[in-house]
A and B are shown apart, each in its own frame.
Chain A
Amino acid sequence: MSATTQAPAFTSDPETRRRLGRRRALIDAGVRWFCLGATVVGLLFLASIMATLLWRGLAALDFIVLTQEFQPTRYGDDTLPKGGLVHAIVGSILQSGIAILIGTPVGLLVGTYLAEYARGSGFGHTVRFVSDILLSAPSILVGLFIYQTVVLPTGGFSGIAGALALAIIVIPVVVRTTEDMLQLLPNTLREAVVALGAPRWKMITLVAWRAALPGIVTGVLLAFARIVGETAPLLLTSFGNNVLSTDLSRAMASLPVAIYQQANSGFPDLIEIAWSGALIVTFGVLAINIMARVALRPRK
């Protein structure tokens, strides 16, 4: 601040002042161009990812990909049947769905505790802190944890282990949105309900939750979008499967893991299928995110 504000005040020579003014204007213009450039670069990354996904993903995306199970490569022999990703799509929806069913109630209760009961309490601060750590902690470590506590004792990779790993990732996401949404409610609403003689738990479940419902649902949607693309924890828990299976006690396919395995297979036809899977996952995730944002937009 010092160098920039004192100079004009102590310089009476018009030539020096003019030169200084030009220098300041130049620096300012340079910074503005830099900021514009940085934003364009950021948008270009997004555009490049989208373009790559569309270009490579649409090439192989067809009815077969959406309806058939995995088939080995037909590289060099076009008479072999073409494979698809239906096993992975079903596995992903199943595991993510169960994870949401397990993680949402826990996250909802924790978020409620933080917003309604724990304002200013030490235990509440600790819970909030730990939940925030879990929100950003490496997801592969959750996979290791479930491997040690579920996969090893039960004797093998399973769909339920995958769902549990994803549920751990769901909890902190739901905690954060639930707490934020409940904090937004005016206290006069709570006071009005309690003044009518309603016990606190009825005030929370019948009024506060209902008032915050759109926000809470949005949080659950965002949690779903987050886990549908998770690969690392599933690699260590449900591992992947090449056939359509709904048996939660056995290894189960998932879209991200199937993409990972086929993208690394080295066969061009399987890599093409991986790209179409990547296109499905990404556009699903982005569609949910955009919907959530529209739903949460403050109405005027």
Chain B
Amino acid sequence: MGERRRIGETGDLVFAGLCRGAGGFVLLLLGAIIVTLFIGGLPAFRAFGVEFVWGLNWDPVEGREEFGAGVAIFGTLVSSILAIIFAVPVAFGIAVFLTELAPPWLRRPVGTAIELLAAIPSIIYGMWGLFVIVPFIQYNIQLAFGEQLAALPLVGFLFQSNNFAGTSLFAASLVLGIMILPFIAATMRDVFSQVPPVYKESAYGLGATRWEVMRGVVIPYTRISVAGGIMLGLGRALGETMAVTFVIGNANRIATSLFDPTNTIASVIAMEFPESLSGSLQQSALLAIGFLLFVISFLVLATSRWLLRPRLK
């Protein structure tokens, strides 16, 4: 009996150690990714100093190499924020429909269909965007209304562009918005359905309409988690690579118009890294912007988790 107990204890020690070790390995992995990207980017940080972060030039031609992350960071942030602006209202509508309006038999199939949008690989969004969304923007928006839009007071410059290819900041934001739609909609649906029915029933009992219940009860009750869901979508959008690479036009200049081509950190890495020479300053600059992307994504994702923490418990 004593013998068996000892075997059991050793087994417990070994197994618990294995599990804990695997947990530690995950921590090490994240640390190793950050450190590796930073070390790889060090030559570029040394060569250009802090100015690397906002420098606008990106010239990989040998002899006059100069690199700055400004355009890519600007493109990454602006395309992701625009994607959020496109996605949030639609996601909200879907979440309300699925929790409050749809008849019960319709909820599961529609919910599943929306969730399947999240399973489609990034590259498929890229091809679909290039063959469907880009021509749509080119012909049905830019060529059809471009001049009228550019003539608008104050906001006209947003639509004033001499790029008529359709591949643009606008196309990238639209595709990104569709890609993050299911993530935001799923979070909203889950937190909306966690509101205690008694709260809603009390408001209905007072004669409130569905919209008044949403605005007065459901949204105030869930607003922090909703913000967390939006941040999660933002975090996803920042690092999206293939879809953006297909439709953004890949030009290293600040987009002043929605119809201008530009680039993002992820798209620059995907376009240039496979063809860059190992050990070159260009490769180091690409690793350096990768490090910056990691820092930005980490901050956004950490914020998202912090906002969603009441739900995680």
Q: Which of A63-71, A74-82, A212-220, A232-240 contacts B (4 or more CB under 8 A)?
A: A232-240
* B232, A136: Cβ atoms closer than 8 Å: yes
* B128, A49: Cβ atoms closer than 8 Å: yes
Q: Mark B226-263, 1 if CB is under 8 A from A, else 0.
A: 00000010011011111000100000000000000000
Q: Mark B1-39, 1 if CB is under 8 A from A, else 0.
A: 000000011011011101111111111011011001101
Instruction: Flag whether A188 is at the interface (Cβ < 8 A).
Output: no
Which residues from 123 to 162 on chain A have a C-beta closer than 8 Å to any C-beta of chain B? 123-124, 126-127, 129-134, 136-142, 144-145, 147-149, 152
**How far is it, in angstroms, between the C-alpha of A204 and the C-alpha of B294 when the chains are bound?**
36
Q: Which of B50-58, B62-70, B113-121, B146-154 contacts A (4 or more CB under 8 A)?
A: B113-121
**How far is it, in angstroms, between the C-alpha of A267 and the C-alpha of B22 when the chains are bound?**
47
- Nearest-CB distance from A164 to chain B (Å)? 11
- Nearest-CB distance from B107 to chain A (Å)? 11
* A144, B26: Cβ atoms closer than 8 Å: no
Instruction: Flag whether A60 is at the interface (Cβ < 8 A).
Output: no
A-side contacts of B26, CB under 8 Å: 106, 110, 127, 130-131, 134, 171-172, 175
Instruction: Flag whether A282 is at the interface (Cβ < 8 A).
Output: yes
* A231, B122: Cβ atoms closer than 8 Å: yes
Instruction: Flag whether A181 is at the interface (Cβ < 8 A).
Output: no
- Nearest-CB distance from A224 to chain B (Å)? 12
Tell me the number of A-to-B contacts counted with CB atoms below 8 Å: 274
Q: Which of A83-91, A194-202, A241-249 contacts B (4 or more CB under 8 A)?
A: A194-202
Cβ-closest chain B residue relative to A140: B241
With A4-B216, A138-B266 as known contacts, state yes or no: A113 contacts B20, CB within 8 Å: yes
B-side contacts of A145, CB under 8 Å: 32-33, 36-37
Q: Is the interface of A mostly helix, strand, loop or mixed?
A: helix
Instruction: Flag whether B200 is at the interface (Cβ < 8 A).
Output: no
* B239, A112: Cβ atoms closer than 8 Å: no
Instruction: Flag whether B143 is at the interface (Cβ < 8 A).
Output: no
Interface centre among B92, B97, B127, B212 (most CB of A within 10 A): B127
B-side contacts of A116, CB under 8 Å: 19
B-side contacts of A230, CB under 8 Å: 121-122
A-side contacts of B125, CB under 8 Å: 49
B-side contacts of A37, CB under 8 Å: 93
* A35, B97: Cβ atoms closer than 8 Å: yes
* A278, B123: Cβ atoms closer than 8 Å: yes
With A43-B110, A232-B241 as known contacts, state yes or no: A49 contacts B209, CB within 8 Å: no
* A127, B23: Cβ atoms closer than 8 Å: yes
Interface centre among A48, A49, A134 (most CB of B within 10 A): A49
Cβ-closest chain A residue relative to B122: A231
* A136, B101: Cβ atoms closer than 8 Å: no
A-side contacts of B273, CB under 8 Å: 144, 147, 235-236
* B89, A38: Cβ atoms closer than 8 Å: yes
B-side contacts of A204, CB under 8 Å: 15
**How far is it, in angstroms, between the C-alpha of A127 and the C-alpha of B19 when the chains are bound?**
11
- Nearest-CB distance from B41 to chain A (Å)? 10
Q: Mark A10-45, 1 if CB is under 8 A from B, else 0.
A: 000000000000001101100110111111011101
With A113-B19, A117-B20, A230-B121 as known contacts, state yes or no: A149 contacts B36, CB within 8 Å: yes
With A45-B178, A113-B20 as known contacts, state yes or no: A256 contacts B119, CB within 8 Å: no
Instruction: Flag whether A253 is at the interface (Cβ < 8 A).
Output: no
* B12, A200: Cβ atoms closer than 8 Å: yes
A-side contacts of B178, CB under 8 Å: 45
- Nearest-CB distance from B183 to chain A (Å)? 9
**How far is it, in angstroms, between the C-alpha of A226 and the C-alpha of B131 when the chains are bound?**
23
**How far is it, in angstroms, between the C-alpha of A173 and the C-alpha of B167 when the chains are bound?**
33
Instruction: Flag whether A72 is at the interface (Cβ < 8 A).
Output: no
Instruction: Flag whether B77 is at the interface (Cβ < 8 A).
Output: no
Instruction: Flag whether A273 is at the interface (Cβ < 8 A).
Output: no
With A8-B207, A39-B93, A113-B20 as known contacts, state yes or no: A231 contacts B123, CB within 8 Å: yes
* A136, B235: Cβ atoms closer than 8 Å: yes
* B23, A43: Cβ atoms closer than 8 Å: no
* A25, B209: Cβ atoms closer than 8 Å: yes
**How far is it, in angstroms, between the C-alpha of A31 and the C-alpha of B123 when the chains are bound?**
34
* A109, B18: Cβ atoms closer than 8 Å: yes
* B101, A32: Cβ atoms closer than 8 Å: yes
Which residues from 151 to 196 on chain B have a C-beta closer than 8 Å to any C-beta of chain A? 178, 181-182, 185
With A106-B25, A229-B122 as known contacts, state yes or no: A41 contacts B90, CB within 8 Å: yes
A-side contacts of B235, CB under 8 Å: 136
**How far is it, in angstroms, between the C-alpha of A171 and the C-alpha of B140 when the chains are bound?**
44
* A31, B33: Cβ atoms closer than 8 Å: no
Among A152, A202, A285, which residue has its beta carbon within 8 angstroms of that of B8? Answer: A202
A-side contacts of B210, CB under 8 Å: 28, 31-32
Cβ-closest chain B residue relative to A222: B119
Cβ-closest chain A residue relative to B210: A28
5 cross-chain pairs, A with B, having the tightest CB-CB distances, nearest first:
A138-B239, A38-B93, A229-B121, A199-B8, A1-B216
Q: List 15 A-B contacts (CB under 8 A).
A: A5-B216, A106-B25, A113-B20, A127-B27, A129-B302, A130-B30, A137-B33, A137-B301, A141-B293, A144-B40, A148-B36, A231-B123, A232-B241, A259-B127, A278-B124
Which B residues have a C-beta under 8 Å from some C-beta of A? Answer: 8-9, 11-12, 14-16, 18-27, 29-30, 32-33, 36-37, 39-40, 89-94, 96-98, 100-102, 110, 112-117, 119-128, 130-132, 178, 181-182, 185, 206-212, 214-217, 220, 232, 235-236, 238-242, 246, 266, 269-270, 273-274, 278, 286-287, 290, 293-294, 297-298, 301-302, 305
